[in-house]
Structure 1
Amino acid sequence: MWKKKLLTPLASLLRRRTLTHFSTPQFQSRPNLQKLRPLFPLPGISFISSQSNPAQCWNCCAAAAATTPFLLCSSCRCIQPVDHSVDYFQIFGLERKYDSVEEHLEGKYKDWQKKLHPDLVHSKSEKEREYAAEQSARVIDAYHTLSKPLARAIYILKLEGVHIDEEETLTDLDLLSEIMEIREAVEEAPDAQALNQIQSQMQEKLKQWCNNFAKAFESHNFEEAVKAIRCMTYYERVNEEIVKRQ
Structure 2
Amino acid sequence: MLSKISQKFGQLNFSRFAAGNLLNYSSFSATQKHIRHCSTIPKFVCWKCGNDTVRKPEIICSSCKIIQPIHHGISYFDYFNVKRDFVINQNELKKKFREIQTAVHPDKYGLHDEKVQKMADDHSSFANHAYKTLSDTRKRALYMLENSDVGENSPDHELAMQMMELNEEIEECNDRDELKEKLKEIEEHINDIVHTMTLHFEKGKSENAKKDLDKLRYFDRTKKLIIKKLE
Per the shorter chain, which TM-score range?
Answer: 0.7 to 0.9
> What does 1:180-195 correspond to in 2, within 5 Å?
180-190=164-174
Alignment of 1:225 onto 2:214: no
Quickly say closer, same or farther: Cα 1:231–1:81, change in 2 above 3 A.
same
Shift of 1:128: 0.8
> What does 1:56-205 correspond to in 2, within 5 Å?
56-64=45-53, 66=55, 68-163=56-151, 165=152, 169-173=154-158, 175-190=159-174, 197-205=181-189
Question: Which residue pairs with 1:28 in the alignment?
Answer: none
How many pairs align? 210
Q: Assess if the C-alpha contact under 8 Å between 2:43 and 2:54 holds in 1.
A: no
Relative to its length, the structure with more helix (as a share) is 2
CA distance in 2, matches of 1:65, 1:240: 48
Quickly say closer, same or farther: Cα 1:224–1:110, change in 2 above 3 A.
same
Quickly say closer, same or farther: Cα 1:185–1:140, change in 2 above 3 A.
farther
Scaled by the length of structure 1, the TM-score of the pair is 0.71
* Higher relative contact order (Cα pairs below 8 Å, separated by 6+ residues): 2
Unmatched runs of 5 consecutive residues or more in structure 1: 14-39
Question: Which residue pairs with 2:6 in the alignment?
Answer: 11
Shift of 1:177: 2.8
CA distance in 1, matches of 2:149, 2:92: 25
State which of 218, 221, 228 in structure 2 corresponds to 1:234.
218
Q: Assess if the C-alpha contact under 8 Å between 2:80 and 2:93 holds in 1.
A: yes
Identical residues among aligned pairs (%): 26
- CA RMSD in angstroms comes to 3.0
Report the residue type matching 1:77 in the other structure. Answer: K
Report the residue type matching 1:205 in the other structure. Answer: H
Q: Assess if the C-alpha contact under 8 Å between 2:173 and 2:179 holds in 1.
A: yes
Question: Which residue pairs with 2:200 in the alignment?
Answer: 216
Question: Which residue pairs with 1:48 in the alignment?
Answer: 34
Unmatched runs of 5 consecutive residues or more in structure 2: 9-22
